[in-house]
Amino acid sequence: MAKPAKVLLNVPAIKADFPILQRKVRDRRLIYLDSAATSQKPKQVIDATSDYYSRYNANVHRAIYELGEEATREYEGAREKIAGFIRAKSPNQIVFTKSTTESLNVVAYGYGLKGKLQSGDEIVGTVMEHHSNHVPWHFVKDHKGAVLKYVDVNDDGTLRMEQYDELLTKRTKIVTVTLCSNVLGTINPVKDIVKRAHEVGAVCVVDAAQAAPHMSIDVQDLDADFLAFSGHKMLGPTGIGVLYGKPEALDATEPLLGGGEMIREVHLGRASWNDVPYRFEGGTPNIAGAIGLGVAVDYLTKLGMDAVRAHEMEVTQYALEKFARLDGVHTYGPKDVKKKAGVLAFTIDNAHPHDVASILDVEGICVRSGHHCAQPLMERFDLPATARASFYVYNDLEDVDALVAGIKRVQEVFA
């Protein structure tokens, strides 16, 4: 494989594609460092959704007329693009949902709660999961009597893999893990995790909400049984998410939503279901969202996911080096960018993360503060809250410099 060139993304050209990055906040340049919460959208995506409403708005899979044909073609075309993006064998393995959260709930409900799980069967998660990959499994515990076990993290923010081996038993039926932590940025060895889960006969559910936007994903190589991600974190619209599943995994999953689209025949008191993936898409879907996500995937594919990852590694490396030189500033998670995505949680001595975010906001810098929907992980590190900067394709080293200057400003205020 050819060694990647150093500068791979033309960030000024990328920035020009994002209308929101042209605006000012209090007369200052907007410096958006919260893409782990939601990414900004390029004009190509905004135009695609608006184009659907302006030119061919119609419901999908029903209308006989031309508009309906166009809408269905674009909607299903988006499904094909997404299948290609994560190297799924078939578009039929791509279910449109509203979010990663919904995707994970579909699996927890349909495969866990209503599926083959028995009382006493075990589900292995990790302490670094987002709340959306904790709470749905609580339902399975509460209503099905499943036993939940959690892999802890090492102090460096990596998973305790030797403990994972100990937790796996013959009763383990589901392993669920994030590909990339939304707080620590840790990139987990998911291929290995899946392999070990399969060795005990468990299926593996992968939360790729933080990974799909930032790195190349090959579901066949990972061998994941289910994989979930959201459109809005990867340049796409809000309200559109994806659930990938192996055919046998999706076949073993009961639908969460009953209604139109998901049925083959309905009679009074009974119904038979449509094929996968439509079985899981009850109700009129987010058509504009799916089409917009398809265009977001085109945009990312054109940049090249390896180039996206290399760019973010460069920005993250630069940020880690700059932060290491700041007294009284602490970062969390791996320090090796090969194991870390562009997510940087940090705290500043004597300044609460909310105050940090407020002061950075004055400088036009958007960072997140709080528990990042990962309270069990915050408890593990004994942190009430942190600030978090996260990077994407439109961020550059100048943005990091602005962040570092902002942090010095925080330290002046709270000196």
Partner 1 sequence: MSASYDLYQEQILDHYRHPRNKGPLPDATLNARDSNPLCGDEVILHLNIDGSRHASEVRFEGQGCAISQASASILTTMLKGSSMADIEALDRDALLKKLGIPLSVVRLKCALLPLHVLRLALGDSKAVRT
Instruction: Kindly list the catalytic residues.
Output: 373
If DSSP codes are grouped into helix, strand and coil, which group holds residue 237?
Answer: coil
- List, in sequence order, every residue forming a beta bridge with 370; answer none if it has no partner: 386
Q: Which of 216, 362, 380, 401 binds partner 1 (CB under 8 A)?
A: 362
From CA 64, how far away is CA 156, in angstroms rounded? 57
CA distances from 68 to 75, 92, 104 (A): 10, 20, 30
Q: Hey, CA dihedral for 340, 342, 343, 345, is it positive or negative? A: positive
15 by Cβ neighbours in 10 Å (0-12 / 13-18 / 19+) ranks as middle
Q: Which is nearer to partner 1, 158 or 182 (CB)?
A: 182
What's the min distance (Å) between Cβ of 185 and partner 1? 21
What's the min distance (Å) between Cβ of 230 and partner 1? 21
Q: Which is nearer to partner 1, 339 or 380 (CB)?
A: 380
What's the min distance (Å) between Cβ of 414 and partner 1? 7
Q: Which is nearer to partner 1, 32 or 278 (CB)?
A: 32
Residue numbers 381-400 binding partner 1 by CB under 8 A: 384-385
- 43 part of the interface to partner 1, by CB under 8 A: no
> Which stretch, 116-124, 289-297, 346-354, 388-396, contacts partner 1 (CB under 8 A)?
346-354
From CA 238, how far away is CA 285, in angstroms rounded? 13
> Which stretch, 123-131, 214-222, 327-335, 365-373, contacts partner 1 (CB under 8 A)?
365-373
Q: Which of 44, 141, 326, 414 binds partner 1 (CB under 8 A)?
A: 414
Q: Which of 3, 6, 24, 26 binds partner 1 (CB under 8 A)?
A: 26
What is the contact mask toward partner 1 in residues 72 to 111, using x (rule: CB under 8 A)?
----------------------------------------
- 405 part of the interface to partner 1, by CB under 8 A: no
> Which stretch, 159-167, 200-208, 211-219, 359-367, contacts partner 1 (CB under 8 A)?
359-367
> Which stretch, 57-65, 260-268, 301-309, 362-370, contacts partner 1 (CB under 8 A)?
362-370
Long-range contacts of range 297-304, CB-CB < 8 Å, 24 or more positions apart? 297/78, 297/81, 297/82, 297/84, 297/85, 297/234, 297/236, 298/44, 298/81, 299/17, 299/42, 299/44, 299/45, 299/235, 300/85, 300/213, 300/234, 300/235, 300/393, 301/85, 303/9, 303/14, 303/393, 304/8
Q: Which is nearer to partner 1, 41 or 388 (CB)?
A: 388
**Kind and range of the H or E run holding 273:** strand 270-273
- 194 part of the interface to partner 1, by CB under 8 A: no
Q: Which is nearer to partner 1, 276 or 351 (CB)?
A: 351
Give, as one character, the DSSP assignment of residue 20.
G
* H helix runs in 149-304, sequence order: 161-167, 190-199, 219-222, 247-251, 287-303
If DSSP codes are grouped into helix, strand and coil, which group holds residue 396?
Answer: coil
Q: Is 164 in contact with 193 (CB distance < 8 Å)?
A: yes
From CA 255, how far away is CA 282, in angstroms rounded? 8
Q: Which of 15, 98, 198, 352 binds partner 1 (CB under 8 A)?
A: 352
> Which stretch, 198-206, 305-313, 318-326, 348-356, contacts partner 1 (CB under 8 A)?
348-356
What's the min distance (Å) between Cβ of 34 and partner 1? 14
Q: Which of 228, 359, 389, 400 binds partner 1 (CB under 8 A)?
A: 359
- 38 part of the interface to partner 1, by CB under 8 A: no
What's the min distance (Å) between Cβ of 363 and partner 1? 9
Residues in contact with partner 1 by CB under 8 A are 26, 351-355, 358-359, 361-362, 369-371, 384-385, 413-414
